Amino acid sequence: MASPRHQDSQRTSSLYNGNLWTQVLNLTALSTIQRPGSQGTTWRLHAQWNLGTGQWEHVELTDAHGAESLTRLHLRPDDVVLADRNYANPTALAWIVDQHAEVIVRCGWDALRLQTLDGNPWSVLDAVRGLPDATPGEWWVQIPGTKDRPTLQVRIVAVRKSLHAAEQARRKARKDARDHGYPVAQETLEAADYVFILTTLPETAADAAEILKLYRLRWQIESAFKRLESLLHIDELRAFDPDLAQTYLLAKLLGTIMVDAIRTQGPDFSPYGFPVQTDIQRRLAYFPTDLAGSPHDRPGPGRSDGLAGPIADVDQSTP
């Protein structure tokens, strides 16, 4: 089936003419920080991780009321965002499309009101019941528009979980229901058998199996958060005063970004003051996760070479 959202588009993009793995893949997640003695969230760290360069692309620190949203991201045309189920929000998805970017996000069976492309109600559970084991299915559907946003055409990709993973999900659903004092819905128990992924990418960029593979890369931002905690101890907040605590956290984050920049620049850095030609194979040896390591990398923010100028401008008097 053709990709409805892109059938009539006049926008030409390297995303559909080249290899998706050379695009900027942005992972987003949220981490919480507590002040000493606090039983709840004090600060929220909203982060954007560039999978190609292995760097923090954007970080934002808010208080406990700062909602997680894809609209916090800094995107360029053709960027691809990977996000967990908490980010499957129609307004945010429409915003990403408006940025000429793409999204791969996990979603629940009842997270969005979906329709067929001709406007009839569509149920993801009805669609997936006939799926064979280990074979993904995909369907083009639409999220109906409102007065504030247009109708959005998306692709739903689904696959059955293993028996063990499905049973774990059902146990968690039952426990959450008990903890919050409500009965678990039968549909929730049935949905535990599947993984549901929503994407705006057309099949020409990634088929259903590739979408599932891409989504599995989300663990890398979780690893990046763990490095923040284990190496820089960003979760060990010592200050009680809000202003001092914010200064402490921002200093830690600035140090993190500088370390990432230096680490990424390292293989191509010349101590003699003149540029060194980029050696892609050598860079890949240093950074095997650099999926964007190609002689045809796009310049601009988000690529490792794009940080050379800002770093040089920090202090021109530094020897």
The ranges assigned to domains in the chain are: 4-225
Structure tokens at 207: 């088929």
Average pLDDT of the residues in 138-147: 96
For the 4-225 domain, the top CATH level (class) is alpha beta
**What are the DSSP E strand ranges found in the chain?**
25-33, 43-50, 55-63, 80-83, 102-106, 137-143, 152-160, 194-199
Q: Which residues pair with 196 in a beta bridge?
A: 158
Decide: 157 and 136 in contact? Cβ < 8 Å.
Answer: yes
**What are the DSSP E strand ranges found in 144-254?**
152-160, 194-199
Structure tokens at 218: 């989300």
Indicate the pTM of the whole model: 0.74
pLDDT tens, 306-315?
Answer: 333 333 343 4
Structure tokens at 12: 């030409």
Given a cut of 80, is residue 30 above it in pLDDT?
no
pLDDT tens, 43-98?
Answer: 888 888 888 777 888 888 888 888 889 999 999 998 999 999 889 999 999 999 99
Structure tokens at 43: 């600060």
Q: From CA 136, how far away is CA 207, in angstroms rounded? A: 10
User: Tell me, what's the pLDDT at 8?
Assistant: 42
- Which among 269, 272, 259, 281 is positioned nearest to 305, based on CA atoms? 269
pLDDT tens, 97-108?
Answer: 999 999 999 999
**Cβ neighbours for 118, distance < 8 A, ≥ 6 positions apart:** none
Categorize the per-residue pLDDT at 154 as very low, low, confident or very high, splitting at 50, 70 and 90: very high
